[in-house]
């Protein structure tokens, strides 16, 4: 019994560590907020932005690293150690940039979890076919608005 409990503890520890190293591309309104939340959740976070002032959005408690550079450059991604990343989230304000970096992370560096911010809901299906996970804040916000207005039980 003790042995099983010890093994379970090890398994839990491994799964807890799985998403430990996270790269966030873009430190604007979305990326900085996410970086602050993940840092608070004790994850190792690296945030990339091409504008130095973007990092002002990070909280005083943010314990990760920042890289001021264009994330489209492979050198920037290598500097962020993309080959070691467990998660890459692309949150720039450009769908093409987000998708391109997501594809590089997934196909070239084999990052296990890649999520791209998508502005244009109509493009979501295309990226699903390319097996790129996307989150479309426009769609998520609309759903939340709908839930507040008519309740969650009504079908989407
Ligand atoms: P927001 O729309 O407020 O979430 O901001 C998007 C952020 O993405 C801004 O801070 C931009 O400077 C950043 N950004 C856009 N393109 C790139 C890029 N190619 N590399 C790094 N950061 C970028």
Position 4 in a domain: no
Position 9 in a domain: no
Position 6 in a domain: no
β-strand partners of 152: none
Q: Residue 72: what pLDDT? A: 98
With cut-offs at 50, 70 and 90, classify the pLDDT of residue 12.
Answer: very low
Is 29 a pocket residue for ligand 1 (Cβ < 6 Å)?
A: yes
Tokens of 22: 């996270």
Chain-centroid distance, C-alpha 105: 12
Distance 18 CA to ligand 1 centre (A): 27
> What is residue 93's DSSP assignment?
S
β-strand partners of 101: none
Span 107-136, pLDDT tens digits: 999 999 999 999 999 888 888 888 889 999
How many structural domains are present in the chain?
Answer: 1
CA-to-CA distance for 59 and 66, rounded, in angstroms?
13
Least confident stretch, 52-56, 91-95, 143-147? 143-147
- CATH number, domain at 45? 3.40.50.720
CA-to-CA distance for 10 and 28, rounded, in angstroms?
37
pTM for the full predicted model: 0.87
Show the domain range for 87.
18-150
Is 33 a pocket residue for ligand 1 (Cβ < 6 Å)?
A: no
Position 89 in a domain: yes
Residue nearest to atom 16 of ligand 1 (CA): 92
């Amino acid at each position: 019994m003790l042995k099983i409990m010890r093994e379970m503890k090890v398994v839990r520890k491994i799964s807890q560590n799985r998403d430990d190293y996270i790269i966030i591309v873009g430190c604007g309104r979305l990326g900085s907020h996410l970086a602050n939340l993940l840092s608070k959740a004790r994850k190792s976070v690296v945030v990339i932005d091409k504008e130095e002032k973007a990092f002002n959005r990070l909280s005083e408690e943010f314990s990760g690293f920042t890289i001021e550079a264009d994330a489209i450059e492979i050198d920037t991604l290598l500097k962020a150690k993309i080959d070691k990343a467990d998660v890459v989230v692309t949150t720039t304000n450009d769908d093409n940039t987000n998708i391109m970096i997501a594809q590089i992370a997934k196909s070239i560096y084999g990052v296990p979890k890649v999520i791209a911010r998508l502005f244009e809901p109509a493009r979501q299906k295309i990226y699903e076919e390319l097996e790129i996970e996307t989150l479309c804040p426009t769609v998520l916000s609309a759903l939340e608005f709908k839930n507040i207005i008519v309740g969650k039980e009504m079908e989407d």
